[in-house]
Amino acid sequence: MIFSSKAEYGVRLMVELGRQSAEHPTSLKAIADAEGLPLAYLEQVVARLRKAGLVMSARGAHGGYWLARPATEIGMHEVVQALEGSIAPMECFIHEHTERVLCSHEPDAGQGCATKLLWTRVQGGIIRSLQMTTLAELVEFSRRAERVPTVAA
């Protein structure tokens, strides 16, 4: 399964917000510069995160963005779902309104799709991985990566 750049940029944005103090809102331009991301696209991404209640914002000279909850309380499944919608390993997999696992193939003598079990397991594994990962873990991981000294060649 390949997630879109929306998910990648959104996760990076959330990690950067998790690294910042909640008392001082962070400008989107500062995040775009720090992460090397396009500001215009980040504006679209942060709008989805705000709508999902994951980030908050304030306008003005001292405005910016901050996490709506502590990073320990934000599961990555929430972030990815806000940006990608339902997680489905195949296009034919999820019914838009019920979010139930379906198969768009015509049933074959009442048996349905022969690969449904596989895709159901793949979907479950992805969702479990996202649910078990908090934003705080990613923030800590990013901080550890900063502290690792590089060896000169």
Q: What is the pLDDT of residues 12-30, one digit of tens each?
A: 999 999 999 878 899 999 9
pLDDT value at residue 146: 74
Which pLDDT band holds residue 115 (cuts at 50, 70, 90)?
confident
For residue 98, give its domain range: 5-147
**pLDDT above 90 (res 32):** yes
Which value, to the nearest 10 degrees, does the dihedral of the CA atoms of residues 16, 22, 25, 26 take? -10
Compare 100 and 84 and report the one with higher pLDDT: 84
DSSP state at residue 75:
B
Main-chain phi, psi angles of 56, to 5 degrees:
-125, 165
Which CATH number do you get for residue 59? 1.10.10.10
Instruction: Note whether residue 152 is domain-resident.
Output: no
> In the numeric block, which tokens belong to residue 3?
């997630």
β-pair type (64-67, 55-58) = antiparallel
The mean of the pLDDT values for the chain is 84
In a domain, 12, yes or no: yes
Whether 153 maps to a domain, the answer reads: no
Report d(CA 20, CA 23) in Å as an integer.
9
Is 50 contained in some domain? yes
Alpha carbons 51 and 82: distance in angstroms, whole number: 8
What's the pLDDT score for residue 111? Answer: 59
In which element (H, E) is residue 56 found?
strand 55-58
**Does any domain span residue 53?**
yes
Does 114 fall in a domain? yes
Looking at the structure of the chain, the number of domains it has is 1
Q: How far is CA 109 from the centre of its chain?
A: 40
- pLDDT tens for 58-92 read 988 888 999 999 999 999 999 999 999 877 766 56
> In 3-state terms, what secondary structure has residue 66?
strand
pLDDT score recorded for residue 61? 82
